[in-house]
Amino acid sequence: MVNLKGTVYRVSGPVVTATGIKPAMYDIVRVGDERLMGEVIQIEGEYSIIQVYEDTSGVKPGEPVENTGLPLVVELGPGLLTSIYDGIQRPLEVLQDKMGHFILRGVDVPGLDHSKKWEFKPLVKKGDAIKPGQVIGTVQESTSILHKIMLPPNVEGGKVTDVKAGSFTIEETILTLDNGAKVAMMHKWPVRKPRPFAEKQLPTIPLITGMRILDGLFPIAKGGTAAIPGPFGSGKTVTQQSLAKYSNAQVVVYIGCGERGNEMTEVLTEFPVLEDPQTGNPLMARTCLIANTSNMPVAAREASCYTGITIAEYYRDMGYDVALMADSTSRWAEAMREIGSRLEEMPGEEGYPAYLSARLSEFYERAGRCTVLNGGEGSISVIGAVSPAGGDFSEPVTQATLRIVKVFWALDAKLAQRRHFPAINWLQSYSLYPEYLASHYAEHAAPDWNETKAQIMEILQKEAELQEIVQLVGSDALPPEQQVTLETARLIREIYLQQNAYDKVDAYSSLQKDYKLWKAILRYQTLSGAALKMGATTKELTGLAAVTDLARARFEAKFEEAYAAAMKGLENAFTEMAAKAKKHEVLA
């Protein structure tokens, strides 16, 4: 028999020690007279160590502690999208209506609206045999997403004895099985327990982000994992917001894990009014936001990541492609460090707990493209921002993350200072997915996509090597061929790699547009090489009006027309140059 009642023995910030409750690990308990929500994270004999998700100011020894006997769970059902939650799935808009702008302690609000009625359309009929994970009906959750009601994975299948159609709340029974199980539109799931699936698939389909440097040079697959480490002001949050807006995922879960309040405010105010470029509906119609700012209790940061990934798994099980943004996992690690120090655990590197890598792995390993229980296919792509102090990528959180993820987008403070955005360093970044995605790009983008990409990367690598010489002797001392290489690399940086996230046209770039820009720049290099052989000078090859037109074409709504005109101008410029060189040769 589980003992549900006990008392507070010791309080150390968010860590409370209780006696007399004899809980299981990760049980949720209510602490003190205000019934603050906490989770059991350690058991030592009769002492239960609890991390409390709320401020413990004023809690004292002797106050009551009550064990619920249940782990931390989230409510899964219609109404998740368009919602804004805190780290433990309390709707912030509901809390604001109840208590104003400041959240009071000990307030318990359900994650979903239990009074709202949803129009349920069944897809099974009486006598049908159904199994866990099978879609039993649909609800139009938002203007963008059709919510598929599934038989929960933890409910045993059987034959349908009764099914209803019509308008119901999420708690009302909509289906009954012959084994007595009653199914509603909502079910609960423990956040620390991954939802089951049938089989994981290879990452052979890219997640198209609309950002040229990512899609072209360092792609992420659907179901992939990526890290964006970078110092303050280098553009982590803007990059993640751009991915949330423009990536071809159908559902977005955005976790503000310990971020500054002003950054989270920008997300909370911008997303509801943004137009979704995929559907034309509000972006919030396919988005779930979890806000846990840096001034909120640290213990809830860890919970916010697990809450977000569980919601993402739920939509994956419906067959959707989900993009999960975690901004930032460094704040989560800092919360673990604080809790670990209060537990008097043996610290690891820089004071972080020894299990830092294990916790990060648990989180990222829940990503993937899967065959789900009902035979469909869904994916979760996890993109985590990392905020290393001073931009030092050798610190423990960045290094632990890099050992887990397959894509590394390294943000560079120096590029940001030069106003080069996105400030992703093309020499430090990498992706381990290109070999899996090569055939997809060749089939859907261009047959020679991979060869063209290799040429672009080679030019950028050569530029890095030549820059070392340039710093010593200056660019004028280089042979003309190498000066052309430097000029071509400059065009790649300024025309292809730079992208304006706030320009309506340039914020999103298709694969076809990326490829054409590549080809135009490589064509310039080829024509310049031929012009040099005919006696043209490097001064004549730089500052061509056609190149300026090509740079401007990125911002034109009618890109194809602007691109064709720029390319025609480029060919004409070099034809005139060749004719001029030939004339000089004849005269000589």
Note the pLDDT of residue 1.
Answer: 42
Note the pLDDT of residue 102.
Answer: 72
What are 308's two structure tokens? 């977000």
584 to each of 117, 535, 578, how far by Cα in Å? 83, 9, 10
Q: Contact, 344 vs 274, CB < 8 A?
A: no
Asked if pLDDT for residue 138 goes beyond 70, the answer is: yes
Note the pLDDT of residue 3.
Answer: 60
Region 239-245: mean pLDDT is 86
Task: Identify the CA nearest to 10 among candidates 42, 47, 55, 53.
Answer: 47
In sequence order, the β-bridge partners of residue 324 are 253, 382
- C-alpha–C-alpha distance, residues 157 and 153, integer Å: 9
What are 563's two structure tokens? 């691109």
pLDDT tens-place string over residues 5-40:
899 999 998 999 999 998 999 999 999 999 999 999
DSSP assignment letter at 424:
B
pLDDT tens-place string over residues 85-109:
988 898 988 888 877 777 778 788 8
- C-alpha–C-alpha distance, residues 258 and 323, integer Å: 19
Determine if residue 499 is left, alpha or beta; phi over 0 gives left, psi from -120 to 50 gives alpha, anything else beta. beta
- C-alpha–C-alpha distance, residues 293 and 260, integer Å: 6
pLDDT tens-place string over residues 350-364:
999 999 999 999 999
Note the pLDDT of residue 584.
Answer: 64
Fold (CATH) for 449-587: 1.10.1140
List the CATH code of the domain at 199-432: 3.40.50.300
More confident residue, 466 or 536: 466
DSSP assignment letter at 39:
E
Note the pLDDT of residue 261.
Answer: 72
pLDDT tens-place string over residues 497-519:
999 988 989 999 999 999 999 99
Bridge-based pairing of strands 15-19 and 27-31 is unpaired
* HEC readout, 546-582: HHHHHHHHCCCCCHHHHHHHHHHHHHHHHHHHHHHHH
End-to-end CA distance of the chain: 105
The boundaries of every CATH 3.40.50.300 domain in the chain are 199-432
pLDDT tens-place string over residues 307-334:
999 999 999 999 999 999 998 899 899 9
pLDDT tens-place string over residues 142-198:
999 999 999 999 999 999 999 999 999 999 999 999 999 999 999 999 999 999 999
Task: Give the lowest-confidence range in 225-229, 343-347, 439-443, 526-530.
Answer: 343-347
Identity of the residue numbered 435: E
Fold (CATH) for 5-71: Elongation Factor Tu (Ef-tu); domain 3 (2.40.30)
Residue 585: pLDDT band by 50, 70, 90 thresholds?
low
- The dihedrals phi and psi of 158, each to the nearest 5 degrees, come to 170, -165
Q: Number of helices (H) and strands (E) in the chain: give both, helices first.
A: 16, 26
- C-alpha–C-alpha distance, residues 183 and 135, integer Å: 12
The boundaries of every CATH 2.40.30.20 domain in the chain are 5-71
Cis amide linkage into residue 347, ω under 30° from 0: no
Region 552-559: mean pLDDT is 94
Note the pLDDT of residue 43.
Answer: 94
Q: Contact, 336 vs 396, CB < 8 A?
A: no
Identity of the residue numbered 354: A
436 to each of 194, 267, 367, how far by Cα in Å? 26, 33, 17
Determine if residue 303 is left, alpha or beta; phi over 0 gives left, psi from -120 to 50 gives alpha, anything else beta. alpha
More confident residue, 299 or 48: 48
The boundaries of every CATH 1.10.1140.10 domain in the chain are 449-587
Task: Give the lowest-confidence range in 265-269, 316-320, 457-461.
Answer: 265-269
Note the pLDDT of residue 67.
Answer: 94
Q: Contact, 47 vs 162, CB < 8 A?
A: no
pTM: 0.93
User: Who's near 550: CB < 8 A, 6+ residues apart?
Assistant: 495, 517, 520, 563, 566, 567, 570
Mean pLDDT of the chain: 91
pLDDT tens-place string over residues 389-405:
888 899 999 999 999 99
| Entry field: residues in the chain | 588
Residue 558: pLDDT band by 50, 70, 90 thresholds?
very high
In sequence order, which ranges of 348-431 are alpha helices (DSSP H)? 356-364, 396-402, 413-417
